[in-house]
Amino acid sequence: MRFLDILPTFQGDRPPKIKYRGLRWKSSISLISFLLVLLLIFSVYAAAKYQFYYFNPDSVQSNFSLLTKGFGEFLNKVGLEATFQAFAQKNDFDRRIKEKQPDLVLVPSWYYQSYGESLGLTPLLSSLENGKTTYTKVLLVRKTQPYTMDQLKGKTVAMTTMGPDTEELLSNNYFNGQGLDFSAMNIIITPKDADALYALALGQVDAALDGQSTLSMVGSVNQRVLSVTQEVASSSPVPTPLLCAMSGSIDSVEMARLQKIFMDKGAKGNLPEYMKMLQINGWQKAL
């Protein structure tokens, strides 16, 4: 082969074809690099989309469609790409967590105590009810059948679940020293706290155990329901629900950012709609 055979061919004023091939190759590299950067950004963005589950049978809010809307609006306003799902039944909540692990959960304190270690839950924030991280449960009977604590043995008592050790937790913790043995009662588990109160008012059960917020809410809407009941006993302070992160889903930096977002947006006088619906008036870092 002669030296002249490998020189680029000129046709008039056109530049060598080899230059065009080089430019096309460089353009292809630039385009691929750009697409890879976009793919990386998209992957990071997609990974930041949170799954948020909620379960709390003691809540006064039963309209989950409205609650989902309220939570969705809050999450969008603070720039969190997240999907929110509320559960009425513990069995449904447990099954869903096993099927598709979420990133964040808002659950009762007893749920964290019972399942937090096995699920890998890290408490981020305690919700505040009337400015406190505790609330009270009240044991009620009907005025027409005013059973005393001693007389409730063998009687039907409606309440929401507090996990696998409900009777023991109530007897030995929250009503300790009051002479109540919940294991000797016929416990009827209701999906929502208000359901227990209505069941008592209608005479379907002998007693009901309800949170103070439920009594206040129902009383403000229908005072007649409360007027047919009377208090037998009141519990010691019960811890409020906890906002938790699932193990491995969120790093410590992001946890701190989420804590700040919820606490800042939950400041007094600036409550998001979802907090009003859940009667949460603030957040406090979980100890």
Residues written for the chain: 287
- pTM score of the predicted model: 0.80
Q: How many CB atoms lie within 10 A of CB 236?
A: 13
Within this chain, domains 49-129+240-285 and 137-236 share the same CATH topology? yes
Please, are residues 120 and 246 in contact by the beta-carbon 8 Å criterion? Answer: yes
- Each domain of the chain, given as residue ranges in start order, spans 17-47, 49-129+240-285, 137-236
Q: Supply φ then ψ for residue 222, to 5 degrees.
A: -145, 90
- Select from 1.10.150.670, 3.30.70.260, 3.40.190.10, 2.60.120.330 the CATH code of 49-129+240-285: 3.40.190.10
* Architecture in CATH of 137-236: 3-Layer(aba) Sandwich (3.40)
Q: Indicate the average pLDDT of the chain.
A: 85
What string of DSSP letters covers the chain? Answer: --GGGGSPPP-TTPPPHHHHHHHHHHHHHHHHHHHHHHHHHHHHHHHTPEEEEEE-TT-S---HHHHHHHHHHHHHHTT--EEEEEESSHHHHHHHHHHS--SEEEE-HHHHHHHHHHHTEEEEEEEEBTTBSEE-EEEEEETTS---TGGGTT-EEEE---STTHHHHIIIIITTTTT--GGGSEEEE-SSHHHHHHHHHTTSSSEEEEEHHHHHHHHHH-HHHHHTEEEEEEPSPEEPPEEEEETTTS-HHHHHHHHHHHHHHTSTT---HHHHHHT--EEEE--
pLDDT tens across 215-268, in order?
A: 999 999 999 999 999 999 999 999 999 999 998 888 999 999 999 999 988 766
Please, are residues 153 and 238 in contact by the beta-carbon 8 Å criterion? Answer: no
Which residues, 6 or more positions from 117, have their beta carbon under 8 angstroms from its beta carbon?
none
Please, are residues 279 and 60 in contact by the beta-carbon 8 Å criterion? Answer: yes
What tens-digit pLDDT sequence spans the chain (287 residues)?
443 343 344 344 554 444 445 545 444 545 555 444 444 443 433 335 889 999 999 998 889 999 999 999 999 888 888 899 999 999 999 999 999 999 999 999 999 999 999 999 999 999 999 899 999 999 999 999 999 999 999 999 999 999 999 999 999 999 999 999 999 999 999 999 999 999 999 999 999 999 999 999 999 999 999 999 999 999 999 999 999 999 888 899 999 999 999 998 876 667 899 999 999 999 999 97
